[in-house]
Amino acid sequence: MKRSTSWVIFLTVSIMYCLIFMQRTAPGLISQKLMAQYAITPTTLSLMTVAQYLTYAALQIPVGLFASRIHPERLLVLGSLFDGLGTIMFGTSASFHAVILSRIIVGIGDAMVWLNIVLVLGKWYDAGVFGRVLGFVGMAGNIGAILSTFPLAWWIAGVGYHVPFVVLGSVLIAIAGLSAILFERTTPRRSRLDSGAPHKYPAFRTIFRHPWDIIAPMLAHWGFMGPFLGFASLFAIPMLHSLYGMTAVEGGYYLALALFGSLVAGPIVGPLSDRLGRKTPYILVGLTDVAAWAVFAAFAPVLAPAVLAVVFLILGFANGASVLTFAVLRDNFQNKEVGLASGIANTAGFLSAVLVPWGIGFVLSGFAGSSAAARDQLALAYVTIFAVMGTIGAFKISRANNPRQQSPTGTLQGPRDNRVGAGH
């Protein structure tokens, strides 16, 4: 395999993930338009997001199982295709029922993307560079999230939302077709990690034979990715308005700062984890994340703008750093088990992303007699519990998770270092 080919694979999945992340978060721009167009309440509108994320979470374990049986390249192409079709359907929907169906289709596509990106890249990059490679792919996704803010908003303001979503969906379908051709021409019929024996579905008992090998990264993903995603998707802007009187545009600046934190996290923690091992960077991320949520909860009504900006930057950074979950899993499990293990961990993250906004909504509604600031602080304290659980998971990650101490036998060399066992 040529080094240039691994670069092409890396760039292809990065572009794909950027576009998929863009369409995943873009509907938030037009929530007011959708409520007016279909005469629905915000509660009804939230069904769109719940349907997408629950579909995603429900399919993570089945996708992980199938990934050990079917080439992950094929599932990745299929995921991009479903995302494209769902995005086109969203842009052309004539009823809110069709909108929900379109997001379910997107959820199906999303469920087949990240796990298989991890497995595809695992065929091309050795353990010494894998953390930083995942970090840069995660960075590409966050670029997509940023593109789904003011650049897409300008486009929608000029032509309406229908055309942008149809164009974005069409590009995703084209990317799926081009990726299929690329993978067919470049992917080895058998991974070097494959012994040549017939594939069998990995059993759950093998994933849990050393319980903390899977529970620790599950908790970390639960505590770092889910809370930010759930909070930012529905309640960040309303809470900033309630606490500080910010307009949607003003609140958007803080969200953009958080997304910037997510953007830079992967390229920072990825290389650090390749050098220091996975545990130390993840613990530092967890402790800082808990501190940020705790400060937000304790002092929310009186935080200075500069402190609030730092809090949002840290929350976004922890979200971006959650790519370390999959580097940990790749270190912990054999190639045939990584798909299922990644599916289980990713399910935890997205269940958290569903439970966080649900819990916030329950707190805000259940304590209606309290002041708005008190209710917001109680809701933020609830979210802090998730971050604490994530940090416990980071502490339970094995110290053996140091790729510099692992033999890279059976992996392909990555583009950042053409020595076997980069970093030795």
Judge contact between 256 and 272, C-beta under 8 A: no
Q: Are residues 265 and 185 in the same domain?
A: no
Q: Are residues 13 and 157 in the same domain?
A: yes
**283 or 35, higher pLDDT:** 283
Inside any domain, residue 156? yes
Residue 372 pLDDT exceeds 60: yes
The total number of structural domains in the chain stands at: 2
Q: What is the pLDDT of residues 172-186, one digit of tens each?
A: 999 999 999 998 888
The domain boundary, picked from 192, 222, 247, lies at 192
Inside any domain, residue 91? yes
Q: Which pLDDT band, with edges at 50, 70 and 90, does 318 fall under?
A: very high
> Which one-letter amino acid corresponds to residue 35?
M
Q: Which pLDDT band, with edges at 50, 70 and 90, does 68 fall under?
A: low
| Cα(140)–Cα(391) distance, integer angstroms | 25
DSSP symbol at 383: H
Judge contact between 266 and 136, C-beta under 8 A: yes
Inside any domain, residue 78? yes
Over pLDDT 70: what percentage of the chain?
A: 87
| Cα(421)–Cα(424) distance, integer angstroms | 6
Q: Are residues 152 and 224 in the same domain?
A: no
Inside any domain, residue 418? no
Q: Which of 269, 267, 301, 294 is nearest to 282 (CA)?
A: 269
Judge contact between 260 and 150, C-beta under 8 A: no
| Cα(161)–Cα(150) distance, integer angstroms | 13
Span 12-26, average pLDDT: 88
Span 17-27, average pLDDT: 85
Q: Are residues 169 and 268 in the same domain?
A: no
* DSSP per residue, 196-248: SSPP-PPPHHHHTSSHHHHHHHHHHHHHHHHHHHHHHHHTHHHHHHHHH---H
> Which one-letter amino acid corresponds to residue 203?
A
Give the pLDDT score at 76: 93
Q: Are residues 258 and 395 in the same domain?
A: yes
Q: Residue 241 CB: number of other CB atoms within 10 A?
A: 15
Inside any domain, residue 419? no
Contacts of 38 (CB under 8 A, 6+ apart): 95, 96, 99
Q: Are residues 249 and 229 in the same domain?
A: yes
Residue 424 pLDDT exceeds 60: no
Inside any domain, residue 384? yes
Give the pLDDT score at 120: 87
Inside any domain, residue 385? yes
Q: Which of 72, 17, 76 is nearest to 191 (CA)?
A: 72
Give the pLDDT score at 410: 36
Q: Which pLDDT band, with edges at 50, 70 and 90, does 162 fall under?
A: very high
> How far lies 77's CA from each of 44, 179, 181, 241, 338, in Å?
32, 7, 10, 41, 19
Tell me how many degrees the CA angle 357-25-321 measures, rounded to the nearest 5. 75
Q: Are residues 206 and 188 in the same domain?
A: no
Intra-chain end-to-end CA distance of the chain, in Å: 22
Q: Are residues 161 and 258 in the same domain?
A: no
Give the pLDDT score at 238: 77
Q: Which pLDDT band, with edges at 50, 70 and 90, does 416 fall under?
A: very low
The domain boundary, picked from 146, 171, 192, lies at 192
Q: Are residues 239 and 313 in the same domain?
A: yes
Largest CA distance in the chain: 66
The domain boundary, picked from 128, 160, 192, lies at 192
Give the pLDDT score at 178: 93
For the chain, give the mean pLDDT.
81
Q: What is the pLDDT of residues 219-274, one digit of tens each?
A: 999 999 989 988 887 678 778 888 888 876 777 788 888 988 988 887 888 788 87
Give the pLDDT score at 414: 38
Judge contact between 207 and 344, C-beta under 8 A: yes
Give the pLDDT score at 200: 54
Q: Which of 266, 241, 13, 247 is nearest to 119 (CA)?
A: 13
Q: What is the pLDDT of residues 286-303, one digit of tens each?
A: 999 999 999 999 998 889
Q: Are residues 212 and 169 in the same domain?
A: no
Give the pLDDT score at 198: 46
| Residue 37 in tokens | 């167009």
Find the domain containing 261 and state its range. 202-402
Q: Which pLDDT band, with edges at 50, 70 and 90, does 3 fall under?
A: low
| Residue 59 in tokens | 């399919």
Lowest mean pLDDT: which of 80-84, 97-101, 321-325, 341-345?
Answer: 341-345
Provide the CATH number for the domain around residue 302: 1.20.1250.20
| Cα(300)–Cα(375) distance, integer angstroms | 11
| Cα(288)–Cα(314) distance, integer angstroms | 7
Give the pLDDT score at 191: 46
Q: Which pLDDT band, with edges at 50, 70 and 90, does 408 fall under?
A: very low
Give the pLDDT score at 213: 85
**402 or 40, higher pLDDT:** 40
Length of the chain measured in residues? 424
Residue 418 pLDDT exceeds 70: no
- Measured on CA atoms in the order 31, 32, 38, 39, is the torsion positive or negative? positive
Q: Are residues 172 and 214 in the same domain?
A: no
Q: Are residues 229 and 118 in the same domain?
A: no
Inside any domain, residue 409? no
